Amino acid sequence: MNAHLRRTFYFFVAGFVSLVGVLAYWQVYAQESLATDPSNSLQSQRVQSVPRGLILAGDGETELARSEEQDGGTYERVYPEGPLYAGITGYWSTRYGASGIEIGENNNLSGNGEPETLDELLNQVSGGPQAGNDVELTLDPELQRAAYDGLAASSTGRGAAVALNPQNGEVLSLVSYPSYDPNNIDENFSDLIEDPDNPLYNRATQGLYPPGSTFKVITAAAALKEGVEPSDTFRDNGTYETPGYTVYNYQAKSYGEVTFEEAISKSINTIFARVAYEYVGNQTLAQTAYDFGYGDTYEGFPIPVAQSSLGDIPPEEWVKGNIAQISFGQGPVTSTVFEMAQVSGAIANDGNLMDPRLVREVRSPDGVILDQPTSSVRQNVLDEETANTLTDMMESVVEDEETTARIPGVKVAAKTGTAENPAGDPHSWFISFAPADDPEIAVAVMVENGNEGYKQALPIARRMMETYLKSQGELPNESTTAQPPAQPAQPPSESTVPTTQPAQPQNADPFAPFRAPNQSPGRNPTQPPSQPSNQPPGQPPNQTPGQPPVQRPGS
Amino acid sequence: MTQRASIPMALALIITTLGFATLIFVQEAKSPPLIYGAYYAGTMILLYLGVRIWLPHADTLLLAIVTLLTGVGLVMIYRLTYEVPGVENLATTQAVWILVGSGALTLTVLLFRDYQKLFAYKYLLALAAVVLVAMTFTPLGYEVNGARLWLNLGPVNLQPSEFARIALVIFFAGYLADTRDLWAATSRSFMGVQLPALKYFGPVALVWAASLGLLVFEKDLGSSLLFFAVPLLMLYAATGRIAYIILGTLLFAVGSYATYLLFPHVQLRVSAWLDPWSDPDDAGFQITQSIFNIADGGLTGTGLGEGFSQTIPEVQTDFIFSTIASELGLLGATALILAFLIFVYRGMKIALLAEDDGSKLLAFGLTAMFALQTLVIVGGVTKAIPLTGITLPFVSYGGSSVVGNFIITGLLLVVSENAGKQPVEEDKEAGEYATEKVTA
């Protein structure tokens, strides 16, 4: 009988070994595919069972995001400031993924990173709950509020504003408007996706717009490098001819004999086209723009930034018509508002472009500082002398022309932009920094279809600079009452500015937050998608031969 | 068969203690009722010492395995029911059942030291088994989750099939030992299989059919499977005829197909097994959640108390192995499977070394029951075979199951005592080998 017993025993052994095999199949071979199975909610349960770290503003007090414990031991993400910081914090959803800092700093916030303190190590070894680390940002709450309110009150209610500390690269405010409430994102997500104003779209970092005349500071920088002096005189008779394309000034004005400095303060397109073509050249202009950050995806910045671009034609193939258009920021040039703030900051900081930073400090839940990024120069764009000369030229913009941008007691350097685009009224641009002699804040503001730069973007930028300088003690507080109203002197009866526009930008991509920076749509959202990327030589872009020139860009 | 197991016993208790210590830390739990832990440890130690005194030649390694399995079960039940409204006391209840089981084992050891006497009452036992199962159809019986498995006997609720199966194994062991030689004297053949005279085959078939039929109508699929397979394996062990296995498998196939056609709940089980992913929120919920949790554990597990298997329905009974695989990982689950295999190995060893046919068949039948039950439920929760609701011996929550398995262990111990009185060289080697396996 023993032989039979042994045989049965072998049968049982085979059964137990098979069970181990089945287990190994599930736990090793099929583990990954099961973890990502759509009906498997374990990962989101796991995520919800651990409190994520706080996201704090730069004052170290204002909570931008925190995890609140619910009945049943799970945590819900709460954004006490609502839509005000949504463009930076992003949202955190177990159904729709995450965006902004929530995903960019997820390793810190989730507590899934490498253990950094003894407590964390003990928790990880013992399998105990690992609360996420707190992330303190560089944002200034007052400034953020000023920028947000300013954009909310703008004529079209669509735009973006970015402010930096030019000396260390800290982002002081970053606003995309309209925004959304990241609280209860699960319930509102489908509505937000269908909203024609695309509130989920980050207009500050993802939106690509023609920068218009604000780009002239880059052309001017290139010209100064090539030996053009601010006092050099040029003659403008209202047009600048290229084969098949004629450059006009804004509102078809003609200025006669002017200096280069006057050309920037009066924003004379024809002189910039001529200087770019005759004195600068394709390679220097392109290289200067690249040094300022065009073509850069700002890898390492915690939220994705779209690549600002000079178009698809390589600089060596630019014809006269191309460089003429690029010199004043039209044609194929597209830029994020974030990038133009970098440009402003680089000029302000003696020609040194700093690494943009949004995270000031990462702390463990018990307050141990885990990471404290230091400031570093990203690129030396201009030598100090050139940068100071350019600053003087930008000061003349405010002193001589855009007087509404003046802030008593503080020198302001600035440049306006009125960017023609095929989607409607021009985009209103303003870049600036102050105090011009020792800059503490650099700003870029853009209001979609807001018309002239001084009308919509300028007052917002001025209000931001004032707010920040006051909080830094650079301006007396009582000056608020002494100031003229923040709105431009022009009566607001610009009835030609429609208050409701079709969805802008047309190619707005609501999924942009989910994309890695290098996947961001390269196409200018305000350009028609059918625009040919390679045009025959001699044929200027965006211009049908034989048609009378209609472009009058730049202010 | 003498086998001391003081070190394995100590290790099993240390593992249990460490499990509770981890849980208190991870779940930030208040101290579990420590007095119950002390009762549990004291019970198992006293049991071990008692058996060593009463049955000096017995294989006490079985008790070390039982301590490990019940200990792991207690830790897991405590982990799954801690502060869960309605079931928060299950771990202490289980500790009480282990106490009762230990008492039952002690009684078994003391009363049935001369277990051969039991074979004299084999027909009575068979009748008792059938009556026990049949009682669930009286007003005393009641349904849980659609299966009529339970008896309400005043203060306690009882799952009679857990005890009936022990009686049946004793019956088959006694009967087959008596008639073993006669089975060979066959006169007829059916489909090439030599059938014994109806005179000998009749009682076996009758008891088998009666108990099986009752269980099928109780909708107790897991027990039906065991009641079918264990007598078949015992028949093979007794006669050595593989033809019985083949014939049995054919019968099983036909029977399974018939039950599939007859009972909608069987169809549901089979479709949930074949494709649970098509309906993961309803019919396939239990099995897909089990698989997700098992996969979640990976190689080393999520750590005790860190998994999410609480959401599996019936997790503290039928699906407790899913929690173990999830939180202890492939390594922990494999270790537990090995512990079960060592129990089976020791059981088989007892059967091999036993002197007479009745003892051999008894030890083999009980061991086969234990092995098959483990294979069927672990295979079920890992989707290797269709799910049938039975408990994981000693680990799952459940009073009848725990007490029944303690009685099985008690019977194996008295058989091993009997076999151990004539020491065999082979046994010593095997014993040392097994000890190493456990302590390793």
Q: How far is CA A314 from CA A326, A426, B131, in A?
A: 12, 26, 93
Judge whether B11 and B17 are in contact, CB under 8 Å.
no
Q: Per DSSP, which regions of A27-96 are E strands?
A: 55-56, 63-69, 75-78, 92-93
Nearest residue to A277 (alpha-carbon basis) of A323, A225, A338 = A323
Q: How far is CA A248 from CA A255, A330, B323, in A?
A: 11, 12, 76
Judge whether B157 and B336 are in contact, CB under 8 Å.
no
Judge whether A96 and A102 are in contact, CB under 8 Å.
no
- Residues recorded for chain B: 440
Chain B nearest-CA distance from A436, in A, is: 57
- CA distance linking residue A129 with residue B380, whole number of Å: 32
Nearest CA in chain B to A12: B371
Q: Low-confidence residues of chain B, pLDDT below 70?
A: 1, 28-33, 146, 183-199, 422-440
Contacts of B360 in chain A (CB under 8 A): 1-2, 5
pLDDT of residue A128: 52
Q: What are the residue boundaries of the structural domains of chain B, listed by start?
A: 6-439
Inter-chain contacts counted by CB atoms under 8 A, chains A and B = 122
Judge whether A118 and A409 are in contact, CB under 8 Å.
no
Q: For residue A435, say if its preceding peptide bond is cis, omega within 30 degrees of 0.
A: yes
- CA distance linking residue A163 with residue A433, whole number of Å: 9
CA angle A511, A516, A521 (to 5 degrees): 60
Identity of the amino acid at B237? A
Strand partners for A417: A429
* Residue B52 tokens, joined: 């060593």
Q: How far is CA A385 from CA A118, A132, A175, in A?
A: 50, 47, 33
Chain A nearest-CA distance from B22, in A, is: 8
pLDDT of residue B237: 92
Judge whether B175 and B162 are in contact, CB under 8 Å.
no
Q: Low-confidence residues of chain A, pLDDT below 70?
A: 72, 112-130, 477-555
pLDDT of residue A355: 95
Judge whether B5 and B60 are in contact, CB under 8 Å.
yes
- CA distance linking residue B242 with residue B262, whole number of Å: 30
Phi/psi at A83 (nearest 5 deg)? -75, -15
Half-sphere exposure for A157 (CA within 13 Å, toward CB): 13
Give the ipTM. 0.91
Name every residue in A having a CB less than 8 A away from some CB of B. Answer: 1-6, 8-9, 12-13, 15-16, 18-20, 22-24, 26-28, 30-31, 34-35, 37, 39-40, 42, 45-46, 126-128
Q: What are the residue boundaries of the structural domains of chain A, listed by start?
A: 45-138, 142-489+500-519
- CA distance linking residue B265 with residue B147, whole number of Å: 10
Out of B25, B360, B364, the one facing A126 most closely (by C-beta) is B25
Is A213 an active-site residue? yes
Judge whether A148 and A182 are in contact, CB under 8 Å.
no
Judge whether A133 and A51 are in contact, CB under 8 Å.
no
Strand partners for A97: A93
Please judge whether B375 and A19 are an interchain contact, meaning their C-beta atoms are less than 8 angstroms apart.
yes
CA angle B232, B235, B239 (to 5 degrees): 145
Judge whether A293 and A379 are in contact, CB under 8 Å.
yes
Pick the CATH number of A45-138 from 3.40.50.11400, 3.30.70.1380, 3.90.1310.10, 3.90.226.10: 3.90.1310.10
Contacts of A19 in chain B (CB under 8 A): 337, 375, 378-379, 382, 384
* Residue A98 tokens, joined: 């995450």
* DSSP H/E element including B348: helix B320-353
Phi/psi at A536 (nearest 5 deg)? -60, 145
Residues 6+ away with beta carbon under 8 Å from B106: B47, B50, B410
Please judge whether B298 and A45 are an interchain contact, meaning their C-beta atoms are less than 8 angstroms apart.
no
Please judge whether B384 and A18 are an interchain contact, meaning their C-beta atoms are less than 8 angstroms apart.
yes
Chain B nearest-CA distance from A38, in A, is: 10
* DSSP H/E element including B157: strand B156-158
Best mutation target, A27, A47, A123, A125, to test chain B (most B CBs within 10 A) = A27
Catalytic residue among A154, A155, A213, A308: A213
pLDDT of residue B133: 84
Burial of residue A518, with CB atoms counted within 10 A of its CB: 0-12 exposed, 13-18 middle, 19 or more buried: exposed
Judge whether B72 and B393 are in contact, CB under 8 Å.
no
pLDDT of residue B197: 66
Identity of the amino acid at A186? D
Please judge whether B375 and A13 are an interchain contact, meaning their C-beta atoms are less than 8 angstroms apart.
no
Residues 6+ away with beta carbon under 8 Å from A283: A315, A316
For B32-44, the pLDDT digits (tens) are 667 778 889 999 9
Out of A27, A39, A45, the one facing B297 most closely (by C-beta) is A27
Pairing of strands A424-434, A413-421: antiparallel
**How many CB atoms within 10 Å of residue B314?**
15
Pick the CATH number of A142-489+500-519 from 3.40.50.450, 3.40.710.10, 3.50.50.60, 3.40.1380.20: 3.40.710.10
Burial of residue A387, with CB atoms counted within 10 A of its CB: 0-12 exposed, 13-18 middle, 19 or more buried: buried
Contacts of A35 in chain B (CB under 8 A): 295-296
Please judge whether A27 and B330 are an interchain contact, meaning their C-beta atoms are less than 8 angstroms apart.
yes
Judge whether A197 and A484 are in contact, CB under 8 Å.
no
Nearest residue to B146 (alpha-carbon basis) of B224, B227, B217, B211 = B217
